[in-house]
Amino acid sequence: MLCHRAMSAQAQEEVSCFAVRIKEKGQDVIYLPKGESVKLGCPFASDPEDDTPDNGWDIEWKQVKPGPHPQDYPLLSYHDNRVIYPGPPDLQQRVGFISPDPSLYDASMQLRDVQITDSATYECKVKKTTEASHKVTITVQERPLLPQCSIIGEIAYGADVTLRCFTSTGSPPLTYQWSMTHGHQFRDWMPPGGSMGSVPGDLHIRDLCEDHVGTYQCSVRNNVGVAYCSVDIYFGGGYQRGLIIVGSVIIPLLALALIIGGSSGAVHAAAGKAGVAVAQVATAGRIIAGTAAVPAALRSRSRNTRRPKPARSGEYCSPRQGRD
Could you tell me what percent of the chain has a pLDDT over 90?
44
What's the rounded mean pLDDT across residues 189-214? Answer: 83
Contacts of 240 (CB under 8 A, 6+ apart): 151, 153, 154, 155, 272, 273, 274, 300
Condensed to tens digits (0 to 9), the pLDDT of residues 257-307 reads 333 344 433 333 334 333 434 444 333 332 223 333 333 333 333 333 344
pLDDT at 53: 66
Per the model's pLDDT, the better-predicted residue between 257 and 103 turns out to be: 103
CATH number for 19-141 (one of 3.40.630.30, 2.60.40.10, 3.20.19.10, 1.10.1060.10): it is 2.60.40.10
> Averaged over 294-322, what is the pLDDT?
40
Q: Answer yes or no: same fold for 19-141 and 148-293.
A: yes
What does the pLDDT read at residue 50?
66
CA distance 103 to 53: 13
Kindly list the domain boundaries of the chain, sorted by start residue. Answer: 19-141, 148-293
pLDDT at position 23 is 73
Tell me, what's the pLDDT at 180? 86
Residue 124 has pLDDT above 60, yes or no: yes
User: Is-above-0.85 flag for pTM?
Assistant: no
The pLDDT assigned to 195 comes to 77
pLDDT of residue 34: 96
Residues 159, 197: contact at Cβ < 8 Å? no
- Tell me what pLDDT residue 13 has: 36
pLDDT class of 111 with cuts at 50, 70, 90: very high
How far, in Å, CA of 220 to CA of 165, rounded? 8
Of 270, 221, 267, 220, whose CA–CA distance to 242 is shortest?
270
Inter-residue contact 234 to 226 (CB < 8 Å): no
For the cut 70, the answer to whether the pLDDT of residue 244 exceeds it is: no
Higher pLDDT, 268 or 76: 76
Per the document, the length of the chain is 324
Structural Rg of the chain based on CA atoms:
30
Dist. CA 110–CA 52, nearest whole Å:
29
* pLDDT on residue 87: 86
Tens of pLDDT, residue by residue over 146-172, are 999 999 999 999 999 999 999 999 999
CATH 2.40.30.10, applies to 148-293: no
3-state secondary structure the chain: CEEEEEECCCCCEEEEEECEEECCCCCEEEEEECCCCEEECCEEEECHHHCCCCCCCEEEEEEEECCCCCEEEEEEEEECCEEECCCCHHHHCCEEECCCCCCCCECCEEECCCCHHHCEEEEEEEECCCEEEEEEEEEEECCCCCCEEEEECCCCCCCCEEEEEECCCCCCCCEEEEEEEECCEEECCCCCCEEECCCCCEEEECCCCHHHCEEEEEEEEECCEEEEEEEEECCCCCECCCEEEEEECCCCHHHHHHHHHHCHHHHHHHHHHHCCCCCEEEECCEEEECEEECCCCCCCECCCCCCCCCCCCCCCCCCCCCCC
What is the rounded CA–CA span in Å between residue 1 and residue 17? 7
Q: Is the pLDDT of residue 315 over 60?
A: no
Q: Looking at residue 150, what is its pLDDT?
A: 96
User: Does residue 242 surpass a pLDDT of 50?
Assistant: no
Average pLDDT of the chain, as a whole number? 72
High-pLDDT (> 70) share of the chain, %: 60
Which neighbouring-strand residues pair with 121? 64, 137
Q: Parallel, antiparallel, or unpaired: how do β-strands 131-141 and 28-33 relate?
A: parallel
Lowest mean pLDDT segment, chosen from 7-16, 67-76, 84-93, 186-195 = 7-16
Structure confidence at residue 266 (pLDDT): 36
Torsion of CA 138, 282, 145, 35, to 10 degrees: -40
Residue range 11-62, pLDDT digits in tens: 333 333 346 677 766 668 899 999 999 999 999 998 776 666 667 899 999 9
